[in-house]
Chain A
């Protein structure tokens, strides 16, 4: 069974940093495309970043240069290092295992999310 469990969120001051983790089970993170998606309180969904199985990474313009996606194969865990945080980064951060089947793409499996609050 595919499971994704996020952790690492919390309250941080503007300009601060956090490392979000997404522990996976039931599949191998390094063999899959993995994404982070966030949702500000009461708002819609915003894609943040993706890491492909080959290691290529992409970011939303709003986080480029401040956030870094990575993975630890030995721990089967996905990470999102979030630096230079701004109040507008406050959101629930979801990790997702993506599917790319017969040329079709989607975020197939989702974790329950971890809340990041940026406030002084």
Chain B
């Protein structure tokens, strides 16, 4: 079983600041990683797949990087609607998700 560990658990930032979220896999997953955003009361939304590809309609301020075991989601300049919980997900064997990082307003 592949375990995804996300850090930090909570990130306190102000609008306009840069957010850097981390996801670490317990073993190599190549580039088989996705990122999702979940706002309160809403379903998750796919942001990034295959580690670095933006999904349809996702703004350019969201970017993903990494391969193997270490991955990063970067939000270049936080907009008010970006304050949410972010999950990483791998598909190297059956799908599994990380525990999430909450990006909150400082």
Q: Answer yes or no: do A and B interact.
A: no
Which B residues form the contact surface with A (CB < 8 A)?
none
